[in-house]
Amino acid sequence: MTAVHPIISVRNLTCGYDDTIVVENVSFDIMPGEVFIILGGSGCGKSTLLKNMIGLYEPMAGQVLIDGRDLVTASGRERDEIIRRFGVMYQMGALFGSMSLLQNVMLPLEEFTDLPREAMTMIARSKLAMVNLEKALYKMPAALSGGMRKRAAIARAMALDPTILFLDEPGAGLDPISSAELDELVLSLSRALGITFVIVTHELESIYKTADRVIMLDKDVRTIVAQGDPRVLRDTSENIYVKRFFHRMPSQDAGTPRVDCAAE
């Protein structure tokens, strides 16, 4: 039997901005085909961790290995190769404002494939259809609602059929129906194409429905406070952060006082 290697492996990663550390010394592995969800309160460093995983920032310490290769030390060509295998949806969408949705989704196809133009258009249309935007092909991002922008950004992230998709809060700003459809999309893609998902989200429903595994970060201890199957964590975890998150308790009702923020 051949052992399955993790597709992403984060080792003793410390990251932050300038001299403020946001996340300290975290390690975890993500297996191919897994739906992996990063949880945590607002401002605890989920986006920061994600940006370090995709090599936008150089970690302060530790490494991120994608398929066993480190983005920071990889040569230019190797780096391009790794980067082409993943798609990213940023928290704010980051659509190119001067292009229509169709052009936004076609851009990576034009740059990285030599498909016939008609094929590119068709691929872009089918990706936009996946997120139910097949009627908004020629709209400009500025003329879209927030949720539509988000869905278009997901379509663009999927343009090149990546093997890993990083989604930063895909469900935020979507109505419950779109949000549920998005969960279905994630599940279908992971089943049909074996895509690995790394998702930041707060939506408890989506977490229960889609996640294979979650990690939870916390702002005060600056590291992983819990990891595992979310349904199991919800029902069995004794950890105060986890309980508060899954049962939506505000901090003053949480029972025991928080020792580590007494100084604040």
Ligand X SMILES: Nc1ncnc2c1ncn2[C@@H]1O[C@H](COP(=O)(O)OP(=O)(O)OP(=O)(O)O)[C@@H](O)[C@H]1O
Whether residue 37 contacts residue 213, with contact meaning beta carbons closer than 8 Å, is answered with yes
State which of positions 35-94 bind Mg ion (CB under 5 A): 47, 91
Residue written as token pair 């989920």: 46
Determine if 123 is a binding residue for another protein (CB under 8 A).
Answer: yes
Residue type, 83: I
Determine if 177 is a binding residue for another protein (CB under 8 A).
Answer: no
CB atoms within 10 A of CB 74: 16
Nearest approach in angstroms of CB 167 to ligand X is: 12
Determine if 145 is a binding residue for another protein (CB under 8 A).
Answer: no
Q: Which residues of 223-262 are buried (b: 16+ CB within 10 A; e: fewer)?
A: bbbbbeebeebbeebeebbbbbbbeeeeeeeeeeeeeeee
Nearest approach in angstroms of CB 171 to another protein is: 18
- CA atoms of 141 and 148, how far apart (whole Å): 9
Pick what 171 binds: another protein, Mg ion, ligand X, none; C-beta below 5 to 8 Å, kind-dependent.
none
* Sites of contact with ligand X (CB under 6 A): 17, 22, 40, 42-48, 91
Pick what 142 binds: Mg ion, ligand X, another protein, none; C-beta below 5 to 8 Å, kind-dependent.
another protein
Span of 32-40, 94-102, 215-223, 236-244 interacting with another protein by CB under 8 A: 94-102
Angle, vertex CA 242, rays to CA 200 and CA 8, nearest 5: 40
Residues of this chain that bind another protein (CB under 8 A): 96-98, 113-116, 118-119, 122-123, 125-130, 134-135, 137-138, 140-143, 158-159, 161, 185, 188-189, 191-193
